[in-house]
Amino acid sequence: MSVSDTDPSTEDEAARAGWLYYVGGMTQDQIAREMGISRQRAQRLVSRAVADGLVHVRLEHRVAACMELERTLRQKLDLTLCRVAPSLGPGSDPVRAIAPVAAAEMERVLRTPEPLVIALGTGRALRATVEELAPMAAEQHRLVSLIGNIAPDGSASFFDVIMRIADKVRAPHYPRPVPVVFDTVAEMEAFLNLRPIRHSTELARTADVCFVGVGQMGTDAPILADGFLSGAQMDELLKAGAVGEVVGTIYDSNGAFVKTALGARIGGIRLEPGRKGKVIAIAGGRAKYPAIIAALRGKIINGLITDEETARAVLAAAQD
């Protein structure tokens, strides 16, 4: 009797089939013979190896069009770093293209022998990037969160990354266990004056490298979808001209910080324009174009890892 695809041993089989296909260079017919299964089952197992994240595929050859976009954007926007991933086509999720490229850059930073303070934001793109990271030992570095992760109801975002990356690279890490938005300024000051929070804040402010996401404003804003803001609060920000946020800091189309009573209660580490060190945004997609362009315009970020379509939109805006 054949083993069903829901049997616990199927993951082991999928891992073996993926290894034989991507590393061993075997055809599906050869895998079927090697494992004593049908060709159809071999095909399903190889597909599952990719779908379940057992196999990570990275493009080693740098596509010429993407390299040219990187060079042009670095020059025009005076970026410390720019990486552009080939787009996957209309209707595809840009995070799927961006994450492997971002992971390769993050691994390069983590393999630096000199001790660094590496600060991290949150979000779907960052979480996908961390999932692509190869496990390694990076005890020489310190990892610190740039933003809280607690919603008004006490829940935490699924897209927090600090614990996940620390588990993968075995580095000392400093989470930020505070609300994203505080009820009052007095409450925020009380939290931020706690000694452990003061220490992590100082680390974050002096970080050598920051990896952040970029959130758009509106009904599809991540900060709204994750429950950190209410619809009424989002409306307040939109009326004030908000187009994007980076680690909870809200800014307008020129990259200038939006001043509202709500903004004064957000407890993230503000990334001041022209900050020393790399502030690398990992972001892409049509919904985020205005937010990414504004963050670059205001020099809130000085590095960008994105997909080809987003890079072209950023370049077009830079040439206006």
CATH code at position 35: 1.10.10
Same domain, 108 and 252: yes
Q: How confident is the model at residue 5 (pLDDT cuts 50, 70, 90)?
A: very low
Number of separate domains in the chain: 2
| Residue 45 C-alpha from the chain's centroid | 29
Q: How confident is the model at residue 306 (pLDDT cuts 50, 70, 90)?
A: very high
Same domain, 114 and 75: yes
Of 11-15, 129-133, 243-247, 283-287, least confident by mean pLDDT is 11-15
Token readout for 94 is 């840009």
Tens of pLDDT, residues 157-172:
778 899 999 999 999 9
Structural domain includes residue 132: yes
Decide if pLDDT at 7 tops 60: no
Rounded CA separation 252/260 (Å): 12
Which residues lie closer than 8 Å to 60 by C-beta, 6 or more apart?
A: none
Same domain, 115 and 226: yes
pLDDT of 311: 97
Structural domain includes residue 164: yes
Q: How confident is the model at residue 150 (pLDDT cuts 50, 70, 90)?
A: confident
pLDDT of 12: 83
Q: Which residues of 118-146 are buried (b: 16+ CB within 10 A; e: fewer)?
A: bbbbbbbbbbbbbebbeeeebeebbbbbb
Q: Report which of residues 10 and 141 the model is more confident about.
A: 141
Structural domain includes residue 1: no
Mean pLDDT across 111-116: 96
Structural domain includes residue 56: no
Taking the CB of residue 78, how many other CB atoms lie within 10 A of it?
A: 10
Helix (H, G, I), strand (E, B) or coil at 300: coil
pLDDT of 6: 43
Token readout for 160 is 């927090």
Token readout for 60 is 């080693």
Rounded CA separation 212/233 (Å): 23
Tens of pLDDT, residues 92-110:
899 989 999 999 999 999 9
Which residues lie closer than 8 Å to 159 by C-beta, 6 or more apart?
A: 122, 123, 124, 126, 127, 222, 226
Same domain, 36 and 105: no
Same domain, 148 and 263: yes
Which structural domain, as residue segments, surrounds residue 31? 10-51
Which residues lie closer than 8 Å to 125 by C-beta, 6 or more apart?
A: 95, 98, 99, 102, 213, 282, 283, 284
Structural domain includes residue 193: yes
Same domain, 23 and 120: no
Structural domain includes residue 2: no
308-319 and 94-110 helices, crossing angle to 10°: 90
CATH code at position 149: 3.40.50.1360
Same domain, 181 and 258: yes
Q: How is residue 289 annotated by DSSP? A: H
